[in-house]
Amino acid sequence: MEPTARFCLRCGHPLEARPHHSGEVRPTCPRCGWVFFADPKVAVAVLTTDDRGRVLLVQRRFPPQAGRWTLPGGFLNPGEAPRARAAREVAEETGLVVRVGALFTVVEGRDHPQGADVVLVYAARVVRGALRAGEDACATAFFPPEALPPLAFRATRQALLRWAARRLSR
């Protein structure tokens, strides 16, 4: 379900469905010619491990998937650097300051209507801080790969499957 607009963001005139040169029908302003394009929702998530080989997860306080566990993360704002957002999400949700490293994986496809179309999952290491649950988390903890709690979101499951497979191949 792609989001749409009903009125022109430039002049306020009602939009009409019109063929676009891309071959798609797009909401278009008959007055000024502005064309609506829905941008994909992009999120970042952070796969943080400790020196014991455990992964950092947060238990969600709010829907969707309240009570289930996920990687710390959030939606990317326009103009925001993904790595900076990733570090901020970890700090806000867990109280830990991390060094965000390489892009670990990219997960495509919206998991639920309010979800992201693309999730950039970064690897990270803890630099300092005290583990605590932030406002939008019930709890936060490190888990070994063989004892993961009930997980929220396909992006979290896919990233953790890849992480566990990588650990086993070493």
**Assigned fold of 1-38:** Ubiquitin Ligase Nedd4; Chain: W; (2.20.70)
| Architecture (CATH level 2) of domain 42-168 | Alpha-Beta Complex (3.90)
Question: What mean pLDDT is predicted for residues 2-13?
Answer: 89
Q: pLDDT tens digits for 64-90?
A: 999 999 999 999 999 999 999 999 999
- What's residue 1's pLDDT? 45
pLDDT above 90 as % of the chain: 86
Q: Which residues contact 140 (CB under 8 A, 6 or more apart)?
A: 56, 57, 58, 59, 72, 93, 94, 95, 131, 132, 133, 134
Give, in order, the Cα–Cα distances in Å from 90 to each of 18, 70, 126, 153.
Answer: 43, 12, 10, 17
pLDDT higher than threshold 80 for residue 168: no
Q: Tell me if 99 sits within 8 A of 127, measured CB to CB.
A: yes
Q: How confident is the model at residue 38 (pLDDT cuts 50, 70, 90)?
A: confident
Q: How confident is the model at residue 2 (pLDDT cuts 50, 70, 90)?
A: low
pTM for this predicted structure: 0.87
Q: Where in the chain is CATH 2.20.70?
A: 1-38
Neighbours of 134 (CB within 10 A): 16
- What's residue 61's pLDDT? 96
- What's residue 8's pLDDT? 96
**Strand (E) or helix (H) holding 89:** helix 82-94
- What's residue 119's pLDDT? 97
Q: pLDDT tens digits for 111-162?
A: 888 889 999 999 999 999 999 999 999 999 999 999 999 999 999 999 999 9
Per the model's pLDDT, the better-predicted residue between 110 and 35 turns out to be: 35
Q: Where in the chain is CATH 3.90.79.10?
A: 42-168
